[in-house]
Chains A and B, each alone.
Chain A
Amino acid sequence: MRKKHRNLLLAVVVVITSSMITSARPSGGTISGKITYEGTPAKQKPIDMSKEPTCAKQYTEPPTTETVVTGPNNALDNVVVYISAGAPDEAAPSKAAVFTQKGCRYMPHVLAFQVNQELNVLNDDQTSHNIHPLAKINREWNKSQPPGAPPIVDKYDKAEMIPVKCNIHPWMHGTFAVLKNSHYAISSGDGGFTLPNLPPGKYTVTAFHESYGDQSQEVTITGSETKTVSFTFKAKPY
């Protein structure tokens, strides 16, 4: 559990630092806030990996599904927060976004990257996976990746939230968030997010959750202020 949080934290740090580097504006406004849920979220079930012993043995206790990941005080994790309108489209950064299959799970569970940014899919497991991103706007592909196979390298040329699955291991689900600019963050741990370095302007901030859909709010930034925006998703027990 602690390890997962560390991974998520790391992902957010990477996201924030990379967005700082790419936008390279010393000043600017910031949008930050917290994602919460109300109601009762679906109980996450332990994953039965007994059909895949090489993965099952990596866990002392079976990991749970990740369709809804929550933190204390109704915090909702794995929400992609991004500027859906108001910011110009940006060229893709040169650094590749990395999606790793480890222990028959996706690391990270939600991977955000930009249009035309290189995507590398790695298999750290001793079993074959098939990577099947179910794109609707982009082209849908499905590739096998046995243990030790080289990374699958690809990119997407249109913005889209793409569910990813492995057909061999039906519990493996994830999301590719393909976005038009570098102003994005993924809520983690306490449901918090920060979108720094925003030049003055009127923005639409959108929060996307794989089970609860998306919500948007209008935010106007003037100068180097920090605006607080919060999103509350209605949780369903099933």
Chain B
Amino acid sequence: MRKMNISKCLVGIAVLLAAPLLVSAQQVETHIGKVTGHADTGRQLYFRYCWGCHGFHGTGTGENWIPTGGFPDTPNLNIQPRNFVAATFKCRSTPTGTLPTDQDLYNSLVRGLTMSNMPSWITLTNQNRADLVAFIKTFSDRWKTDKPGPELSVPAEPALTVQSIQHGKELFTKLECWKCHGPEGRGDGPSASTLTDSNDEPIRPYNFAAGSRFKCGTTNHDLYKIFMTGLDGTPMPSFADVIKPEDAWDLVHYLRTLQVYHKSPELALWEGTKEGAEIVKAQKVRGTPTGSGVNQ
């Protein structure tokens, strides 16, 4: 009889200890299309797939992450896994300084973040990802006090014209995108070497000439959102207050032509003009960073 009481007591204590964790996790739900995500299921997935990098407490300091200088072989550019407690996210469809939508977080899981260690989680099911998003939202109280910002409205993309690309090129100069991204979009502008993220870690501006994927997507629509909302936690600011929607599409069209090794309708049209062909040819520098093997 006494033995049973003790074991009952132990179970009771265990339930009491675990209760706050379970309750706080269960309250959060996400809605991705028709899928409803639950934080309690997401919790199990998190401690299987995510915590190695994002850490036990979601602070982005899991055992796979070694701080810069923490180990002799640590690369200089060591992007820290997202800190879910700070709740600052790069890829959003909401204004700078606001929380992302559930769909934004879900999309980041599907896509992964290029040029970082965050892979694409296409191997999981839609339900798994929705559950994970719900659990990620339990790490910060901001999800209780704040709402995601209003979603950026992206107008329909106008027809692609040479004038649009030329105007985008003017905007690239006028808005001083080149200060960081470089005059040819190679991520080598005058301020590039000094950039740090909000954790004071060095960070590199996007090099348009390398690869076809952007940090937050691959489509023109994604590119539009990237510079309008900014990438919070990085030096990339929001241009939503300073670029008109019609101008923004012109900039998108021009930025596509900076991807000189990625076939796109924009690049094809640009290379079809005399001006564009010369510019693209000049941008297609081959060789190594030290200059050896450069065709001159």
- Contacting residues of chain B (238-294) with chain A, CB-CB under 8 angstroms: 238-242
Q: A149-B242, A152-B241, A168-B191 are in contact. Are A142 and B96 (CB under 8 A)?
A: yes
B96→A141 contact, CB < 8 A: yes
Chain A: interface residue total (CB-CB under 8 A): 23
* Chain B residues within 8 Å of A143, by CB: 96, 230, 237-238, 240-241
A140 near B190: Cβ-Cβ < 8 Å? no
CB distance from B180 to the nearest CB of A (A): 7
Nearest-Cβ distance from residue B248 to partner chain A, whole angstroms:
13
Q: Are B174 and A169 in contact (CB under 8 A)?
A: no
B176 engages A146 (CB within 8 Å): yes
Partner of A168, one of B86, B97, B180, B241: B180
**Chain B hits for A168, CB < 8 A:** 176, 179-180, 191, 235
Contact of B232 among A51, A127, A142 (CB under 8 A): A142
Nearest neighbor of B241 in chain A, beta-carbon distance: A143
Interface-side segment among A1-9, A129-137, A189-197? A129-137
Partner among B142, B175, B179, B230 whose Cβ is within 8 Å of the Cβ of A142 = B230
Q: 1/0 per position for A152-167, CB-CB distance to B under 8 A?
A: 1000000000000001
Q: Is A145 an interface residue (CB 8 A)?
A: yes
A81 to B195, CA, bound (A): 32
Give Cα A139 to B86, complex, Å: 9
| Complex interface bits, A168-183 against B, C-beta within 8 A gives 1, otherwise 0 | 1110000000000000
Number of interface residues of B (CB under 8 A): 31
Check A146/B242 contact, CB under 8 A, given A132-B237, A139-B98, A141-B96: yes
Q: Which of B142-169 contact A (CB under 8 A)?
A: 142, 146
- The secondary-structure label for the interface of chain B is loop
Contact B194 A141 (CB under 8 A): no
Beta-carbon contact of A140 and B241 below 8 Å: no
Least CB distance, B208 to chain A, in whole angstroms? 18
Q: In the complex, what's the smallest C-beta–C-beta distance from A136 to chain B, in angstroms? A: 7
> In B57-105, which residues have CB < 8 Å from any A CB?
86, 88, 95-98
B86, B176, B238: the one contacting A141 at CB < 8 Å is B238
In the bound complex, what is the Cα–Cα distance between A170 and B192 (angstroms)?
A: 10
- Compute how far the CA of A149 lies from the CA of B238 in the bound complex, rounded to whole angstroms: 13
Give the residue of B95, B146, B232 whose beta carbon is less than 8 angstroms from that of A140: B232
Query: Is B236 part of the binding interface, using a Cβ–Cβ cutoff of 8 Å?
Result: yes
Is the beta-carbon distance between A142 and B176 smaller than 8 angstroms?
A: no
- Beta-carbon contacts under 8 Å, B178-197 to A: 179-180, 190-191, 194-196
A25–B74 Cα distance when bound, in Å, is 60
Tell me the nearest residue of chain A to B191, going by C-beta. A168
In angstroms, Cα B175 to Cα A149, docked, is: 11
Inter-chain CA distance A130–B96, complex, in Å, is: 12
Known pairs A51-B191, A169-B191; A146 contacts B237 (CB<8 A): no
Tell me the A74-130 residues at the B interface (CB within 8 Å).
127-128, 130
Chain B residues engaging chain A, CB cutoff 8 angstroms: 86, 88, 95-98, 142, 146, 174-176, 179-180, 190-191, 194-196, 198, 230, 232-242
Given contacts A132-B237, A140-B232, A141-B232, 8 further A-B contacts (CB under 8 A): A136-B86, A143-B237, A144-B238, A144-B239, A149-B242, A150-B241, A152-B241, A168-B179
Interface pairs (24), CB distance under 8 Å: A51-B190, A128-B176, A130-B237, A132-B235, A139-B97, A139-B142, A140-B88, A140-B97, A140-B198, A141-B96, A142-B230, A142-B235, A142-B237, A142-B238, A143-B238, A144-B237, A144-B241, A149-B241, A152-B241, A167-B191, A167-B195, A167-B235, A168-B191, A170-B195
A-B pairs, top 9 by smallest CB distance, nearest first, are A141-B97, A167-B235, A130-B237, A170-B194, A128-B176, A144-B237, A139-B97, A141-B96, A142-B237
Footprint of B on A, CB under 8 Å?
51, 127-128, 130-132, 134, 136, 139-146, 149-150, 152, 167-170
